[in-house]
């Protein structure tokens, strides 16, 4: 077992998991959290993650963590991935650990590595301005054998290193490029649209092997998902597992958890979207923990420990072939209006047998709604539990369109 885990980023649910498991830890996060940490006896090191400098770098942080006897660093959020990689490269005396961390933080590098390794990916390029995106769309049209008068091929642009859908734009035409792209978007990655059913995997990896695989069914990206996967995706589980282990081998992942997104077409083709190695959005680990009855956040942390024994691993992870009886899903709620003053929970929701709970909070006063950055600022979730994944899908699609705020 590790001497001490450095939790890179502030997350109360992760801290609570470590306390319940009685595992040694120290939180490394921004100075803003230091007072709270002192009040609640949380081991804490204040640090500025948003810059590399003579006084803010992994060697300096390594020195600050020595009094805690840290030997494993765990990235909780996207912005701490390379910091954890730098520390773990020191703890494990392996510079490639840092190189692999950069793979997760640069989507262009990630795609090139996937392509070299034989995973199916779309067409992609690094672009530096609107003209670059227009040229990419034209080349994509040519590759798809488009003729004059047909719709343009869809192009997605996204930042190299942002989490989730932040900064993600879908461009359906040359006119979209002119209207939607802004100078702040560049440089970025441009990629072709991948067709198919989108889903994510959460693979808990130890000593280079997947020890437990969760498949999360996306009902609508950025709005709703449920765990475990529905009946159709479940029939593809063996195929998905093989592709997942190929990804683990290709990226040289030895410890931790990875969260890749995939697309499955009707002809059984799997296309790789992207992969992260921190806590996924959409409350995925929370849902997985409920469905499989385990401490998913605790398991996420402990799988980063090279010294974790097989017995300890088996204690924290579900059986590889586990299939829960109940499905757990949620829909993230966004106001449909620019200004809101009250919360209304529909009677039909209260009477729904699958309805579990919600964490929606009424606005204190009339509140103006700012533009969304990706899907990161939802107002809360409505949670469901039930035995039929098809009914779960219907409910999540329905309540995505219900206006809870007026």
Q: What is the pLDDT of residues 304-336, one digit of tens each?
A: 999 999 999 999 999 999 999 999 999 999 887
Distance of CA 128 to the CA centre of its chain: 26
The helix (run of H) or strand (run of E) holding residue 21 is helix 12-21
* Residue 148, Cβ density class (10 Å: 0-12 exposed, 13-18 middle, ≥19 buried): exposed
Task: Spell out the domain ranges in the chain.
Answer: 5-105, 124-192, 195-324, 329-400
Rounded to 5 degrees, what angle do the CA atoms 23, 25, 29 make? 150
Q: What share of the chain is helix, strand, coil (3-state, %, to 5)?
A: 35, 25, 40
How far apart are alpha carbons 22 and 19 in whole angstroms? 5
User: What is the C-alpha to C-alpha distance for residues 127 and 130, in angstroms, rounded to an integer?
Assistant: 8
Name residues whose C-beta falls within 8 Å of residue 121's C-beta, 6 or more positions apart in sequence.
111, 114, 115, 271, 272
pLDDT of residue 55: 57
Q: What is the DSSP letter of 54?
A: T
Give the bridge partners for 271, in sequence order. Answer: 263
- Token pair belonging to 168: 């993600």
Q: Which secondary structure element, helix H or strand E, spans residue 125, and what is its range?
A: strand 124-127
Radius of gyration (C-alpha) of the chain in whole angstroms: 22
Q: What is the pLDDT of residue 373?
A: 42
Q: Which two structure tokens, joined as six digits, stand for 61?
A: 């942080």
Question: Residue 116: pLDDT above 70?
Answer: yes
Q: Among residues 240, 154, 214, which one has the least CA distance to residue 190?
A: 154
For helices 107-116 and 96-105, the axis angle rounded to 10 degrees is: 110
The two three-digit tokens of residue 3, written as one number: 């001497």
pLDDT of residue 94: 94
Partnered with residue 45 across adjacent β-strands are 28
Q: CATH for 195-324, among 3.40.30.10, 3.40.50.300, 3.20.20.210, 3.30.470.20?
A: 3.30.470.20
Asked whether 234 and 226 are in contact (CB, 8 A), the reply is no
Q: Which two tokens stand for residue 62?
A: 């390594």
Lowest-pLDDT choice from 26-40, 146-160, 193-207: 146-160
Residue 375: the pLDDT is 42
Residue range 5-105 forms a domain whose CATH class is alpha beta
The residue whose two tokens read 């490029």 is 177
pLDDT value of residue 183: 87
pLDDT digits (tens, 9 = 90+) for 246-262: 999 999 999 999 999 99
Q: What is the pLDDT of residues 52-88, one digit of tens each?
A: 665 568 889 999 999 999 999 999 999 999 999 999 9
**pTM score:** 0.92
CA dist 314 and 303 (Å) reads 11
Question: What is residue 208's three-state secondary structure?
Answer: coil
* Residue-level length of the chain: 406
Q: Is the pLDDT of residue 19 over 80?
A: yes
Strands of 31-110, DSSP E: 44-46, 72-75
The more confidently predicted of residues 169 and 24 is 24
């Amino acid at each position: 077992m590790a001497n001490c885990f450095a939790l890179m980023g502030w997350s109360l649910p992760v801290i609570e998991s470590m306390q319940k498991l009685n595992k040694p830890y120290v939180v490394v996060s921004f100075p803003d959290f230091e007072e709270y940490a002192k009040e609640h006896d949380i081991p804490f090191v204040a640090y500025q993650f948003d810059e590399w400098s003579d006084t803010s770098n992994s060697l300096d942080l390594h020195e600050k963590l020595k009094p805690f006897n840290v030997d494993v660093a765990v990235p909780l959020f996207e912005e701490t991935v390379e910091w954890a990689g730098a520390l773990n490269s020191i703890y494990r005396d392996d510079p490639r650990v840092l190189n692999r961390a950069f793979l997760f933080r640069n989507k262009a590098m990630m795609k090139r590595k996937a392509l070299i390794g034989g995973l199916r990916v779309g067409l992609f390029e690094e672009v530096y301005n609107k003209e670059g995106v227009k040229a990419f769309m034209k080349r994509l049209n040519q590759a798809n054998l488009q003729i004059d008068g047909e719709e343009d091929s869809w192009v997605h642009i996204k930042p190299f290193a942002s989490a989730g859908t932040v900064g993600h734009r879908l461009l359906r035409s040359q006119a979209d490029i002119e209207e939607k792209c802004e100078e702040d978007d560049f440089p970025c990655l441009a990629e072709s649209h991948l067709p198919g059913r989108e889903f994510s995997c959460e693979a808990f990896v130890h000593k280079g092997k997947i020890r437990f695989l969760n498949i999360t069914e996306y009902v609508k990206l950025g709005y709703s998902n449920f765990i475990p996967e529905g009946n159709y995706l479940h029939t593809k589980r063996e195929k998905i597992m093989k592709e997942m282990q190929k990804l683990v081998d290709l990226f040289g992942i030895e410890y931790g958890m990875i969260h890749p997104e995939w697309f499955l077409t009707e002809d059984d083709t799997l296309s790789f979207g992207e992969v992260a190695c921190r806590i996924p959005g959409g409350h995925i680990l929370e849902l997985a923990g409920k469905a499989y009855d385990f401490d998913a956040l605790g398991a996420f942390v402990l799988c980063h420990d090279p010294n974790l024994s097989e017995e300890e691993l088996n204690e924290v992870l579900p059986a590889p072939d586990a299939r829960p009886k109940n499905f757990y899903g949620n829909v993230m709620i966004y106001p449909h209006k620019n200004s809101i003053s009250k919360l209304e929970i529909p009677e039909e929701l209260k009477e729904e047998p699958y309805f579990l709970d919600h964490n929606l909070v009424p606005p204190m006063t009339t509140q103006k709604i700012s533009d969304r950055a990706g899907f990161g600022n939802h107002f809360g979730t409505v949670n469901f539990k039930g035995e039929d994944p098809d009914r779960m899908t219907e409910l999540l699609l329905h309540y995505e369109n219900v206006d809870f705020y007026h």
